[in-house]
Amino acid sequence: MTDNLGFLPVNADECRERGWDRPDFVYVTGDAYVDHPSFGVSIISRVLESAGYKIAILSQPDYRSCEDFKRFGKPRLGFLVTSGNIDSMVAHYTVSKKKRSYDYYSPGGKMGRRPDRALIVYSNRIREAYGDIPIILGGLEASLRRFAHYDYWDDKVRRSVLVDSRADLLTYGMGENILLRVAELLDRGIPIKKIRDVRGTVYLTDRDDKIHFEYETGYDYNELKTNKLAYAKAFALQYRNQDSVYGKAITEYYDSKMLVQNPPMPPLEREELDRVYALPYTREWHPMYDKEGGVPGLAEVKFSITHNRGCFGGCNFCALAFHQGRSVRSRSIESVVEEAKIITSFPDFKGYIHDIGGPTANFRYPACDKQLKDGVCALRKCLAPKPCKNLKVDHSEYLKLIEEVEKLPKVKKVFIRSGIRFDYLVYDDDDSFFKKLVKDNVSGQLKVAPEHCCDGVLKYMGKPEIAVYNKFKDKFFQITKSMGKEQYLVPYLMSSHPGSRLSDAVELALYLKRSNYLPEQVQDFYPTPGTASTVMYYTGLDPFTLKSVYVATDYNEKRMQRALLQWNRKENEEFVRTALIKCGRTELIGNSPECLVRAPVTNRTSSYKGQKRVDRAVKKNGFKNKKDKRKKSDTHIKK
């Protein structure tokens, strides 16, 4: 007997120890197996297990042949397939398309444990092994690639991943109720090719087949891959049907075939979420990874708690709208407290809950009462650029939740580290939560996301005007000072987002200088599937207005925009000078306090004849610098 019975089986021997002749489902994942509710595989597998299904986990299989996919034999009902917690291409490549050197979701952080385009590779290996067996795709990569989508790495519009993978069904969004329904139908003997009426699923069928739900006719892939206007319109069609209350089915066409996305599955309500998070997770990585040092991704979440789902923030560069959706739901206080009790029982618990958060930490309910009955407004945002008049701002329950967790005997501190929406906080006339946050729940630094300072750029980001962030910033430091504390804001900043010109990057650099902000890291805009910003990047159009948007696609300009955000660094001097000259802002080159960069050592009194030398250096050392790691943004900013 093994000592892994707290986990689901990872090999045939463990299935036999449970008395199984074969599993009902084999769950294939590109991540290492971590049985924690921050990992989608763990949630779905435990939900199916609680319903009586036998689930085996095939984590990071050897994809070079189909042999490893035969590890458990042929499952009774089929294969579930996911690339893991994030898109496999994002996991492997930086925004500059360079190979990453570290994988947080693989044992020891080692790269190479999953393939590029994992859903396609895994599905093809399963077909090699078992032929016509049900294959169901799920997870973030499936959600965001369910339609024809612009692929940054190929620089073209790729087909739906369902088409390219040859899988039978794709689930999008949060999959608990979707997969319970699909499993029930398969268990009753319904062929997967006949499962056509489950919300939250996508399937491929003949063009003349009947569609179960009311639907809107989409576009043909042959048009989408060449016509950027059609592509932008297709995205807007998908976006406005993303709500479970009023969303319709959508079609997309591939030669003689028709892709059908059924309407979204309604979000889990509070009682359902409570049941999901009460399931018997071990909250550890599988012991088979101990010899490699475990799985790094667990460290960030082991002592953290997710209390909500969904986000009505509506940032255009965020994939949440296409995955979890914009309708917020949350767990009960009692459910969160029970999870905190489990965490405090761990031998390595030191008294600190690292986070009680979610997609946006300070959301607990839908943005307004109207959303419960009528759904989220199709093409309007709740917070940006101005807050909706129907917005309900209330932090009282979140405050109570934190206070209840703090009462537990072994808890010394509760921190809030992920995703405070600063504008929502500012709009609250009651300062009770703000003061409590500053007093007790900031670990010296609070992460927030202003992203930029130019209102024109912020509009395309779907963010509030910079005046809102300034108000928040001033209030944060005012409260901090009144309490005798020294604490910092850690703003996320983004360069080269659609709508951002080089001149806007100069304004952001000046804003940072005036604010005495010295970013340690910044993030170039990363065009990932399933976001409005990626549509802007590819088409040059705002999908919601179809108006033209400026896009920085030239690598030299993108490098200069990024350098301007770190104007104070010596290695960025030549990039900043070049950018300022291109923008006609040479008054910012010099030794006076208002300047961003000093004049070059030579030719300071000339009309800048050293520009050719600067351009040569930029080309040689900037745009082909192999040492430039371009780390993910975690900007440290001081007041």
DSSP notation for 117-162: THHHHHHHHHHHHHSS--EEE-SHHHHHTSS-EEETTTTEEEPPHH
Q: What is the predicted pLDDT for the residue at 419?
A: 82
pLDDT tens digits along 374-429: 999 988 899 999 999 999 999 999 999 999 999 999 999 999 987 899 999 999 99
At residue 546, the 3 state secondary structure works out as: coil
Tell me if 140 sits within 8 A of 324, measured CB to CB: no
Domains of the chain: 12-203 (3.40.50.280), 451-639 (no CATH)
pLDDT reading at 637 higher than 70: no
Q: Given pLDDT bands bounded at 50, 70 and 90, which one contains residue 616?
A: low
CA dihedral 292, 298, 299, 301 (to 10 degrees): 180
156-158/149-151 β-pairing: antiparallel
Neighbours of 18 (CB within 10 A): 12
Tell me if 510 sits within 8 A of 595, measured CB to CB: no
352-353/445-451 β-pairing: unpaired
pLDDT top residue among 618 and 60 = 60
**Phi, psi for 550 (deg, rounded to 5):** -70, 135
Q: What is the predicted pLDDT for the residue at 518?
A: 85
Q: Given pLDDT bands bounded at 50, 70 and 90, which one contains residue 517?
A: confident
The 3-state secondary structure of 304-323 reads: EEECEECCCCCCCCCCHHHC
Q: What is the predicted pLDDT for the residue at 4?
A: 61
Q: What is the predicted pLDDT for the residue at 636?
A: 40
Mean pLDDT calculated for residue range 304-310: 96
Q: What is the predicted pLDDT for the residue at 602?
A: 62
pLDDT tens digits along 473-506: 999 999 999 999 999 998 899 999 999 999 999 9
Q: What is the predicted pLDDT for the residue at 322?
A: 87
Q: Given pLDDT bands bounded at 50, 70 and 90, which one contains residue 274?
A: very high
Biggest CA pair distance of the chain: 85
Tell me if 8 sits within 8 A of 55, measured CB to CB: yes
Q: What is the predicted pLDDT for the residue at 522?
A: 87
Mean pLDDT calculated for residue range 135-150: 97
Rg of the chain, C-alpha, whole Å: 25
Q: What is the predicted pLDDT for the residue at 521?
A: 80
pLDDT tens digits along 335-379: 999 999 999 999 999 999 999 999 999 999 999 999 999 999 988
pLDDT tens digits along 519-541: 888 899 999 999 999 999 999 99
Q: Work out the percent of the chain whose per-residue pLDDT is above 90.
A: 88
Q: Given pLDDT bands bounded at 50, 70 and 90, which one contains residue 313?
A: very high
Q: What is the predicted pLDDT for the residue at 612?
A: 52
Average pLDDT, the chain: 92
pLDDT reading at 615 higher than 80: no
User: ∠ at Cα 484 (480, 485), nearest 5°?
Assistant: 55
pLDDT reading at 628 higher than 60: no
